[in-house]
Amino acid sequence: EGQQNADRERSKNWQAVYPCYFDNTRSRIEGRRVKQNEAIANPLAREIVDAVQSLGLVPIFEPGKTHPKDWSNPGRVRVQIKKEGRPVTRNIKNKHHLYKLIAAYLQSHPTNPSTPLRLRVAGLPPPKEPNPPPAVPRGWKIGTILPLHSPALSGGGVSDNILKDMMAEMQGQLPEGSGSAEARKKKEKK
């Protein structure tokens, strides 16, 4: 944990890169940062780490962090492209140029169903085969290939009728005969 805190402190001013920046199913408003034709289907943070390393930069991978508009695809990569206002490397001019270079790498190394198996998460046993695509409610944008530690994969996916499920859960938590029946019994005894 000491190493993680040191990395977090060292990288707090570095650029954050999320998978949704390169997702071709998303609009600019929904988080995409590159052109539609440069984006890919199902980008994963682990692949972004590989892209950053191929550029000669040092990434810090934070598998538990999520973008506010992409809760189902966890993972954030921190990259230092400037140090004291000067570029770390001559190959990368600015943040947007970094995004374009990562997008080019991702296009030449597309995500496939076995890609999530490359990332080992502590506490999760490695599956023998890739997970099936998550159950996606109508209108939601969730990739068909997700990391093994994605909240969209736990519990069999997301329900289509969230309100109904919440009501059933709440009714199951209430004690039987709550309130009024017990009050009537006390009144009858008097």
The CATH number of the domain holding residue 138 is 3.30.56.30
Q: Which residues form the domain of 115?
A: 2-156
Q: What is the CA radius of gyration of the chain?
A: 23
Percent of the chain with pLDDT over 90: 42
Q: In Å, what is the CA distance from 177 to each residue of 69, 75, 154, 174?
A: 42, 46, 33, 9
24 or 143, which is more confident? Answer: 24
Q: Considering the domain boundaries, does residue 66 fall inside one? A: yes
pLDDT band (50, 70, 90) for residue 157: very low
What is the rounded CA–CA span in Å between residue 20 and residue 39? 9
How many separate domains does the chain show? Answer: 1
Mean pLDDT of the 116-143 span: 74
183 or 97, which is more confident? Answer: 97
Q: Considering the domain boundaries, does residue 164 fall inside one? A: no
State the average pLDDT for the chain: 81
Say whether pLDDT at 37 is over 90.
yes
Mean pLDDT of the 167-187 span: 54
**Do residues 80 and 51 touch, judged by C-beta distance below 8 A?**
no
Determine if the pTM surpasses 0.75.
Answer: no
Say whether pLDDT at 150 is over 90.
no
Q: Considering the domain boundaries, does residue 188 fall inside one? A: no
**Do residues 72 and 146 touch, judged by C-beta distance below 8 A?**
yes
67 or 161, which is more confident? Answer: 67
Mean pLDDT of the 109-126 span: 78
Which DSSP category does 150 fall into? -
Q: Considering the domain boundaries, does residue 189 fall inside one? A: no
Q: For position 7, what pLDDT does the model report?
A: 77
Mean pLDDT of the 74-89 span: 90
Q: Considering the domain boundaries, does residue 16 fall inside one? A: yes
119 or 190, which is more confident? Answer: 119
The amino acid that residue 127 corresponds to is: P
**3-state class (DSSP) for residue 123:** coil
- Residues paired with residue 62 on neighbouring β-strands, in sequence order: 76
**Which stretches within 25-179 are classed as H helix?**
45-54, 95-108, 162-173
Q: Considering the domain boundaries, does residue 187 fall inside one? A: no
Say whether pLDDT at 179 is over 50.
no
Q: Considering the domain boundaries, does residue 68 fall inside one? A: yes
Q: Considering the domain boundaries, does residue 52 fall inside one? A: yes
